[in-house]
Amino acid sequence: MPKALLQKKSESSEEERHQVVASQIESRGVRDALVLEAMRHVPRELFVPRELAEKAYDDTPLPIGCGQTISQPYIVGFMIEALRLRGGERVLEIGTGSGYAAAVLAHIAGEVYTIELVGELAARARDNLQRARARSVHVRHGDGAQGWPEHAPFDAILVSEGVPNITAALLHELKIGGCLVAPIGDNPRSQELVRITRVAEEEFEREDIADVRFVPLIGKDGWESPEDDWRVKPPRVVRARPAVSVSVPSMIAKEGEIFTHLHDADLNPLIERIGDARVVLIGEASHGTSEFYRMRARITQRLIEDKKFKFVAVEADWPDAARIDHYVRHRDVPPSDWTAFARFPTWMWRNAETKSFVDWLHKNNETRAFETRAAFYGLDLYSLYNSVRVVLEYLDSVDPELAVIARERYGCLSPWEADPAAYGRAALTGEYRKCEKDVSRVLVDVLRNQQDYVMQDGERYFDAAQNARLIANAERYYRTMYYGSRASWNLRDSHMFETLNQLLIHHGDHSKAVIWAHNSHIGDASATEMSQRGEYNIGQLCRRAFGEACFSIGFGTNDGTVAAASNWDAPMQVMNVRPAHAQSYERLFHLSNAPGLMLSLKENGALREKLMRPLLERAIGVIYRPDSELASHYFEATLPRQFDEYIWIDRTSAVKPIKGIELEGMPETYPFGL
């Protein structure tokens, strides 16, 4: 090939690497400058089969032969960043593969030792590394589970393949202060990416970093043999399955209650199936789909009117939802000096669909006695500092002496108001003292004085007490999130469930509740891959607590548009939703050709039996990444065990955020005011 053409090709490859690092890696949160620079430098196309060179920078794993894959660029960057390298270290890698990760490590570290069990891959990796001019990389063909003791100790160890556990021998090859990063789990289909740090001769600390899924490590202490269904699968994506029977979509169409437009849907059969349920959980497959919000509102209106449901509790912060509650129940509360639903993602509740329901509830309550008015609450715990303000304002008015003490105790959290997550990081690393005892003592004091406070205003006391509970749980949450996704998820949903129970107690033995939250919260987690990771949710907790008195409704769609962001704190966009994956429940419902339908999942029969086969299910939150949809937005579930009812709307549209001009002339107490 002419020298000029080679140079042009090299420049094109370098430009593509820079684009990939910016769009796939840095934009998703990998921030380590050494890692980013290394990934800009290493030519990934040299580490994939020649026929796949054009796909080298795609956001997907690629086959490299022998049943193995090269992980997508983001996963490589994410894992190497977790090693916390600073340059010049001695690093061990288990699972060389094509040698790409070793080449990236070599650009940062001083010496890289890498072990590959498959001899053919080890030989190819040596050639690839030589072509890439990677220095100080030593490749060995052998069983990596026992490490490389001749060159120990290591500053860092990277295990690039899924393992059921880490051997003591490998851990003892770490230097004191060194860390190991690996995907670990008893189930080869679901692991947790963990970091284990050796803090003393026989003392190790473990942190859970993320939920992942990797090609399994084969060897003495790995899994016995590779499975075909593991090959060429990105982390956290469940395995593909043969297509289900073509008869299933026609069975769905036959048994489902079909509707063309939302306002035409006959809700009477659904309301009858809900029966005497005390808690009805209504989901959504995204946080930005108009039809989900509107159908959820229709069902809730019927439950309030026909079955005397007492309150709606939603996946929103307690103080923000309290602003709505004051408005819909016509409570005489002075306007607040802060804006409700002002934090990201603002469109999740500041939208025309929510406004329409709130206005309806305000009008519906207008002629009712206060004790019979339907209320509106928030279940979430992200409002740490707004809740602090509410508690202090309340104590200022009812108990000024305790307010002084509470202000001093909550002051522990003050330095972190701009970034509560930074408090958790600082508290865990020992850079800052924990505020756990301080915030817990305020809660204890508020609860101890309940009898005196309730005599003055029971509703205000309940609001303040719940905010104090939220502060205590939020403080734990921001510390726990650094232990890993499982622990923080469980704490958050436990808080939601605890809040629901407090509300039911507050409203009396015969009170009934409607819950609005994402499918991933209200569908029974034990019927999904979440349970394999030790996660549970409010849906599972409600089923366990209320049994047949709990009824859950899931939603799904095939395509359309959704309001979402590409990254946290990024601007909202109206994005196109990709058609459902071929191996998903959504695909089955789409093939029914129904524009919309409601399907009971409690009825035993042939269709329920067919749907009991686990499939993929899509979950879009406030962030949507269509380019990596399979890896980012699908999980494995068993639909009839997850929900009691499933509502399908084939094509959907984005929610409509409220514009300032729409609020002109509204009273100061209007909850969506600026």
Catalytic site residues?
A: 71
Alpha helices in 481-523 (DSSP H): 485-507, 519-522
Rg over alpha carbons for the chain, rounded to the nearest Å, is 27
∠ CA 210-189-246, rounded to 5°: 120
- DSSP 8-state secondary structure symbol assigned to residue 612: T
Sheet of 375-380, strands arranged across: 257-258, 596-600, 645-649, 550-556, 279-282, 513-516, 311-317, 375-380
**Buried-state track 305-337, b at ≥16 Cβ within 10 A, e below 16:** eebebbbbbbbbbbbbbbbbbbbbbeeebeebe
Return the amino acid letter for 369.
A
Contact 512, 471 (CB under 8 A): no
Task: Specify whether the backbone of 417 is left (phi greater than 0), alpha (psi in -120 to 50) or beta.
Answer: alpha
Q: What is the DSSP letter of 162?
A: B
The sheet with strand 559-564 has its strands ordered as 573-577, 559-564, 651-652
What are 32-39's contacts with CB under 8 Å, separation 24+?
Answer: 32/80, 32/81, 32/85, 34/85, 34/86, 34/87, 34/108, 35/77, 35/80, 35/81, 35/85, 35/104, 35/108, 36/77, 37/107, 38/80, 38/104, 38/105, 38/107, 38/108, 39/73, 39/76, 39/77, 39/104
Q: Note if the bond before 226 is cis, omega within 30 degrees.
A: no
Contact indicator for 211, 189 with CB cutoff of 8 Å: no
Distance CA 292, CA 501 (A): 25
In angstroms, the first-to-last Cα distance of the chain is 64
What's the number of CA atoms in the CB half-sphere (13 Å) around residue 541? 19
Closest to 13 in 3D by CA, of 42, 51, 37, 52: 42
The torsion defined by the Cα of 337, 341, 345 and 346, in degrees rounded to 10, comes to -90
Determine the Cα–Cα distance for residues 613 and 183; give it in Å rounded to an integer: 27
- Residue 164 buriedness (CB in 10 A; 0-12 / 13-18 / 19+): middle
Q: CA 190, CA 188: separation in Å to the nearest integer? A: 6
Q: What are phi and psi of 564, to 5 degrees?
A: -160, 175
φ, ψ (nearest 5 deg) of residue 113: -115, 125
Residues in the chain: 674
Residue among 558, 612, 522 at smallest CA distance from 299: 522
| β-strand pairing of 550-556 with 645-649 | parallel
Strand, coil or helix: 248: helix
Angle at 384 between CA 381 and CA 386, to 5 degrees: 110
Please give the Cα distance from 554 to 556 (Å, whole number). 7
- Structural element, H or E, at residue 74: helix 73-82
